[in-house]
Amino acid sequence: MKRVSVDIGGTFTDCFLVWDGQYVEAKALTTHHNLALGFNQALKNAYEKIDLDLETVMAEADSVRYATTLGTNALIERKGPRVGLLVTAGFESTLPLSRGRGYADGLSERMQADLPMAKRPDPLVPIPLIAGLRERIDTNGNVLMKLIQDDVRRQVRKLVDQGAQAFVVCLVNAVSNPSHELLVEEIIREEYPSHMLGSMPIILSHLVSGRKGEYVRSSSSIMDAFLHQVMYHGLSSLELNLRETGHKRPMLVIHNSGGMAQLNSTDALQTIHSGPVAGIHASEHLAEEADLGNVICTDMGGTSFDIGLVVSGGVKFYDFNPVIERWMVCVPMVHLLTLGAGGGSIAWYDRMHHTVQTGPESAGSDPGPACYDKGGMQPTVSDADLLLGYLDPDNYAGGAIKLNPRRSKFAMDEALCEPLDISVTEAALLTRQKVDNNMANGIFQELRTRGYEPRQFTMLAYGGNGGLHCCGIAEVLGIDKVFVPPFSSVFSAVGAGNMHQLHIHEKSLYLTIYDSNTSKLFDDFDHLNQIIADLEEAGKNDLLRQGMKAGQIKHRLEMDMRYGNQLAQTAVVSEVNRIESRKELLRLIGVFARDYGKRFGEGSQAPEAGIRVNTVRVASYVELDTVNFGHMRKPEGAGNPVKKPKDIRKCWFVGHKEALDTAFYQAEDLKPNDAIEAPAVVVSPSTTFLVQPGWRLIMNEQNAGWLLRVDQGN
C-alpha cells in the first residue's frame, strides 16, 4: 500500500504516509492563503524521513485523502457569497427565527440558560435576501397551490437586485414532491443561463437532504451554498497541486458521515468536522484490528474535549440533526460530542459551594494559560498540570512553548488560594480533580443515554492533553484500560487513511408498520422496497461516477423506528436489504425492540402505541484496503521492566498527601513491551503521558501504549 492521508487543521497540517509497510507521521503549519503549500511541506517532512522524493510519492501513491477544516473556518470568518433564499410564501421568517432555540445552538449550557443574553448569530442569509414564492405542497406531495412562474421570476430578480450571488430553494414538503423546486431551478436557468457570465449556482433542498424539516433543510442547503465556492476553490487548488506534482488519480475528500468520495460527489457540508470524524474512524479500525471491543474515543486538546463512540457489532452512532458552528442542519454525521474542557479551561472559585470549578470558559491559545506568559491572568488546567510537576517547562510541545510556573502560581494564588485559604498545590489538585470529573461525567452521560456502561469500554486517548488526563478520567469512570493509539498526534490523518468510499441517502416517510388501533401489520412491501431500491440506486450512481465497479458496491439498510409518537428514533440496521414478508418485518421489529430496550431499559418498549418508520437510509459503500497497524492487542503479561531514568522529579497526585518521586522518560528511549511503573511521565515531542499511581504503561509499536490499572487484575 502506498497512501497519503492529510488532515488540514486550523494550525497544523498533519500527514500520515504509508509506503510499503512503512508508516510515517509529519506535520507542517497550515497555510491558509494557499493550502497546497502547507500540504506540500507536511508531505515533504514525511517522505524525507524515508528517503523518498515528491515525484515518486505522487506518481505511485494509490490515493491521496484529505480531511479539512476549511469549511469550518469559512463559516467562522463568514467567507462566502451572498446567498438568496427562495422559500414557500408564509415561511419567510422560518430561517431567521431558527426554531427559537437557534439563539443558543452550539453554545455552552451556561449560555443556553441565559435568556437575557440570547442573541442569534449573524445570519448567513440576511432578511432582504429571503423571498417567498406562491406555491404549496402538502405532506403527501399533493399540490395545494401551483407554483406561479411569473411570481418566481419577480422574486428571483428582486433577490438579484439585492445582490444574491447564489440561490437556495427550500420549499415546504419538497421531499414529498420536488416538482416545484425543480421548476424554480428551470426558471432561474432560463433567466440566468448556465453558459452566461451571470449564471449563478442553485442548490435545491431536496437534493441536499431527503428528510423533512423545512428549517434544518434550508440551513443545510444554505451552508452548502455558502461554502461551495470557497471549498471548491480550496479543494480544486489542492487537486490541481496534485496534478502538477504528478498524481493522476482523483483526490478523495473525507466526509463527516464516516466515508469519503471524490470532489464530484462531495458537497461542502459533508466536509465539516471531517477531521475529528476521521479520528473516530481510525479508532473503529483499531478496535477491529486490536480486538478492543467497545471503545470510547477521547480527544483532549487545548479548548475542547471531543468524545466519540465505537461499539462492536456494527452499530453506528449518527447525529441526524447536528449543530455545525451555530446552526442545526440535517445531514447524517458521525456522532461526536464536544465538551468545553481542555488544557486552557479556566479554573475559578465557586463561591456558592466554596470549592473549585473548571470551564467551560477557556483561555484558548491566545492568551492561553497563565504559564504561556502571553498575558493570561486566569489559572487553567494546564497551569495546574505544570504546578503538579507533570509538564517540563523547558520542553513543552517539543520545546516550542516555554512555560513560566511563576505565572501559574500567581494566577492560582489570586483566583483560588486566597478565597479558599489553601496552598497552590492544593488548588492545582482540586483543579485537576474537577476537570477530570467533568470529562468523566460527559462520558457517563454520553454512554449511559445509549444504554452502555463505561466499565465495558476501552478508552482511547489522543490529542495534545489526552495522555495527561486519561488515567484520571478513566479512574472516575471505572475503566481499567486506556489505549494511547499509534500516531496519536496525527490520528485524524491516520483515520483518513482507512476510510472506505461511502455515500448515504435517506428519505423521510410516514410509515406505520404496526397500527395498534387496528392491530394491523404493514404489508405494502413493494412500496417500501421501491423506496429502498431508489436510495440504493442513488448511492450506486455516486460510486459508479467515481469509477467504482458495480460488483464492488455494497449497501447497508437502516430504518429510523419509533414507538407511537415518540421523538426517539432508533436507527435499526436491517439484516436484509428488502422486506418481503411479515416474518422479515417482525424480525426487524424484534431488532428494534432489542436495541431500544438496551438503550432505555428492558421493558420500556411500547409497541402497544404502534410502531413507525420515519426514515429509510441506505449507506452505499465500497470497501478499500486499510492500514495494518501490527500488533496492538492488549499485552498478556506485565511487560518488560525498564530501568529507572535519571530524571526523577517530585510530582503531586490526587489522593496523595505528599509529593511522589516520579520518573520522567523520553518516548524515543522506550521499546515495545517496555513496562513503566507509576508514578511516571513519558514525554514525546507531540504529547505527554502521565502514569498515575495505580497504573502501569506498557509500550507498544509505533509509540502506542497501554495504560492499565494495576489493581484491577491487569
Partner 1 sequence: MDKIEALEPNDDQFDEETMMAKFLEETTLFLGPDPEIMGDHDLAERSDREDEAMKKVTDPATLAIVRDRILAGANEGFEMLENMGAAPGAKWGDLVTGVFSAAGDLAISSTGGVLIFSSLVHHPVKFINKYWRDEPTVGIRPGDVFMHNDARYGNIHNTDQSMMLPVFHEGVLIAWAGATVHEGENGAVEPGGMPSSAESVFDEGLKLSPLKVGENYELKRDLVTYFQNTVREPKLQYEDMKVKMFVCRRIEARIREAIDEYGVDAVIACLRVGLEDTRAEVRRRVSEWPDGTVRYSHFADSTLRENVMIKIKLELRKKGDTLTFDFRGSSPEFANRCNNTVQASLKGMICQLFLAFIWPDLPRCQAAFAPMVVLTDEKSALNSSYLTPNAQSMMTFFPAFTGAQIACAKLMFSIPNKSTKVVAAWYDMINTFLYGGMTQHGEIVGNVCADINGMSGGAHGDRDGENAVAPIFATMADIGEQELVEEEVPFIQIVSKRLLMDNQGMGKHRGGMGYEMMVAMTDSEQWGFMVTCIGSKTPNAAGLFGGYACPTYPLCKVKGVDVFEMFKSNPEDFSYSMIDVMNNQPFKEATYSTHHMGLQYELTRRGELYMISQGAGGGYGDVLERDPLDVMRDVEEKLTSQTLANNIYKVVYDTETLVVDEAATQKARDKERAARKKRGMPFKQFCKQWSTKKPPANIPFYGSWDDSKLIYGGSPEETMTPDTMRSITMPHPKDVRIEALEAELEAAQKKLARSAKAKAAPKAKAKAKAAPKAKAKAVRKGRKKSR
The interface with partner 1 within residues 207-266 (CB under 8 A) comprises 212-216
429/667 Cα distance (integer angstroms): 26
CB of 564 to partner 1, least distance (A): 5
- Which stretches does DSSP call E strand in 97-215? 130-133, 136-137, 143-145, 166-170, 202-204
Residue type for 257, please? S
Q: Which of 90, 398, 641, 645 binds partner 1 (CB under 8 A)?
A: 90
Please report whether residue 144 would count as binding partner 1 according to CB under 8 A: yes
Complex with partner 1: residue 3 or 335, whichever CB lies closer:
335
Where do we find the cell 421501491? 530
Instruction: Decide if residue 544 touches partner 1 (CB under 8 A).
Output: no
Q: Based on CB atoms, which residue is closest to partner 1, 68 or 692?
A: 692
The C-alpha cell of 529 is what? 422496497
Q: Whole-number minimum distance, CB 342 to partner 1, in Å?
A: 18
Grid-cell match 403527501, residue found? 140
Nearer to partner 1, 520 or 633 (CB): 520
Q: Is 487 in the site for partner 1 (CB under 8 A)?
A: no
Q: Tell me the window of 34-42, 129-137, 196-204, 411-419 that interacts with partner 1 (CB under 8 A).
A: 129-137
196 binds partner 1 (CB under 8 A): no
What residues from 13 to 72 belong to the interface with partner 1 (CB under 8 A)?
Answer: none
C-beta closer to partner 1: residue 161 or 625: 161
Query: By CB under 8 A, is residue 118 in contact with partner 1?
Result: yes
Taking the mean position of all CA atoms in its chain, how far away is CA 578? Answer: 31
Q: How far is the CB of 380 from partner 1 (least distance, A)?
A: 18
Q: Which residues contact 366 (CB under 8 A, 6 or more apart)?
A: 374
- Is the distance from CB of 288 to CB of 458 less than 8 angstroms? no
348 lies in the site for partner 1, by CB under 8 A: no
Q: Give me the least distance between CB of 90 and partner 1, in Å please.
A: 4
Which cell numbers in the block locate residue 587?
A: 424480525
Buried b / exposed e over 306-325, threshold 16 CB at 10 Å, is bbbbbbeeeebbbbbbbbbb
Please count the residues of the chain.
714
Does residue 93 touch partner 1 according to CB under 8 A? yes
Task: Kindly tell me which residue out of 155, 265, 382, 438 binds partner 1, with binding defined by CB under 8 A.
Answer: 438
Our finding on whether 173 is near partner 1 (CB under 8 A) is: yes
Per CB under 8 A, 444 contacts partner 1: yes
3-state class (DSSP) for residue 312: coil
Buried b (16+ CB within 10 A) or exposed e, 507-528: bbbebebbeeeeeeebeeeeeb
With binding defined as CB under 8 A, does residue 601 bind partner 1? Answer: yes
Q: Is 712 in the site for partner 1 (CB under 8 A)?
A: no
Determine the Cα–Cα distance for residues 104 and 370; give it in Å rounded to an integer.
29
In the bound state with partner 1, the residue whose beta carbon lies nearer, of 44 and 99, is 99
Find out whether 38 and 31 touch, Cβ atoms under 8 Å: yes
Residue among 48, 62, 138, 186 that touches partner 1 (CB under 8 A): 138
Binding partner 1 by CB under 8 A: which of 246, 293, 393, 610?
610
| Residues 648-677 interacting with partner 1 (rule: CB under 8 A) | none
By CB under 8 A, name the one of 33, 248, 353, 646 that touches partner 1. 353
What is the chain's alpha carbon radius of gyration, rounded to the nearest angstrom?
27
DSSP-derived 3-state class of residue 24: strand
Q: Is 92 in the site for partner 1 (CB under 8 A)?
A: yes
Q: Which of 76, 97, 196, 648 touches partner 1 (CB under 8 A)?
A: 97
Give CA separation, 42 vs 15, 29, 106, 375, 578, in Å.
Answer: 6, 8, 32, 31, 46
- d(C-alpha 103, C-alpha 327), whole Å: 9
Is residue 141 part of the contact set for partner 1 (CB under 8 A)?
no
CA 251 to chain centroid = 21
Which 445-474 positions form the footprint of partner 1 (CB under 8 A)? 445, 448-449
Site for partner 1 in 356-375 (CB under 8 A): 356-357
Smallest distance, Å, CB 529 to partner 1?
22
Is residue 600 involved in binding partner 1 (CB under 8 A)? yes
Tell me which of 48, 55, 62, 109 binds partner 1, using CB under 8 A. Answer: 109
Nearer to partner 1, 110 or 545 (CB): 110
Q: In this structure, what C-alpha cell is assigned to residue 438?
A: 467533568
Residue 248, Cβ density class (10 Å: 0-12 exposed, 13-18 middle, ≥19 buried): exposed
Q: How do beta strands 166-170 and 202-204 pair?
A: parallel
Q: 384 CB contacts (<8 Å, ≥6 apart)?
A: 347, 408, 412, 427, 428, 429, 431, 432, 435
Contact between 512 and partner 1 per CB under 8 A: yes
Under rule CB under 8 A, residue 608 binds partner 1: yes
Shortest separation between residue 371's beta carbon and partner 1, angstroms: 23
Q: Which stretch binds partner 1 (CB under 8 A): 237-245, 293-301, 561-569, 683-691?
A: 561-569
Residue 683 pairs in a beta bridge with: 666, 688
Decide: is 179 part of the binding site for partner 1 (CB under 8 A).
Answer: no
Four-residue CA torsion sign, 195, 196, 201, 203: negative
606 binds partner 1 (CB under 8 A): yes
